[in-house]
Amino acid sequence: MRILIVEDHAELVTMLVRLLDTAGYASDCTTTAEDALIVLSYTRYAVVILDLGLPDADGLSVVRAMRERDDRTPVIALTARASVAHRVTGLEAGADDYLAKPFAPEELLARIQALLRRSGTIVDRTIDCGNVSFDPATREVAIGGVPTVLSARELEVLAALIRRSSRVVTKAHIEQLLFGLADDLGSNAVEVYIHRLRRRLTLAEADVEIVTVRGVGYMIMERAA
């Protein structure tokens, strides 16, 4: 599922790309209204995240142009202008949702899922690696079809790994996830939870393994036959 980011602030773009990638979404980025309309003319997206303060035009011009050519792709408008009048103007122009900066990443993800449900796009899908399945909507895990209960921290680590199966997840990223749940963790917290998760997978006869990429991080992948 692919999302278009139309935003000219480099740091925010970097944050959005990482956030969407972690949540299992692919993304493309443009920095101007003109480029956004060109990309939208030949690529279908599940959602457009649109900054209203673009360097070449008001972001609402993008929404109006999309609706005029009958492009009904859901649009979340981002803006520092948080007045009721601005929100009303944006919604009347055709935006589907409105999020004032600064915003919590979790709120943006929740709004994306709400829009996808409203538009009929299937979002409650499982992510599989071997015989391990993770449902992002319910945050449930099954191994070989059998529901498996993990602690909150174990679940965060597995979710991060399985969303990027066969790709490296940095140790720093996993640390950020763990310390977001609690601040009473030791300096070796990542190693501890990777060890626990490996043990759980082995006991449940999972056909995947968590591989250490020395000096970088970890990745989950199917075991070689």
* Number of structural domains found in the chain: 2
pLDDT at 182 over 80: no
SS3 151: coil
Domain boundary among 63, 87, 118: 118
pLDDT winner (highest mean) among 17-21, 90-94, 144-148, 156-160: 144-148
Percentage, residues of the chain above pLDDT 90: 48
Domain end: 69, 87, 118, which one?
A: 118
Kindly tell me if the per-residue pLDDT of 122 is higher than 90. no
* Domain shared by 110 and 145, yes or no: no
List CB contacts of 191: < 8 A, sequence separation 6 or more.
none
CATH number at residue 102: 3.40.50.2300
pLDDT, averaged across the chain: 87
pLDDT value at residue 79: 84
Residue 85's pLDDT is what? 74
Question: Can you give the CATH number for the domain in which 158 is found?
Answer: 1.10.10.10
Q: Which range marks the domain in which residue 202 is found?
A: 127-222
Phi, psi of 208 (to 5 degrees): -125, 165
Examine the domain organization and report whether 89 and 171 are in the same domain. Answer: no
pLDDT greater than 90 at residue 179: no
pLDDT value of position 81: 72
Q: What's the pLDDT tens digit per position in 38-76?
A: 999 888 898 999 999 899 998 899 999 999 988 999 999
Same domain? For 114 and 137 the reply is: no
Residue 121 predicted with pLDDT over 70:
no
Residue where a domain stops, chosen among 118, 146, 170: 118
For residue 6, give the nearest of 73, 71, 78 by alpha carbon: 78
* Tokens 């209204």 belong to residue: 33
Instruction: Say if residue 89 is in the same domain as residue 160.
Output: no
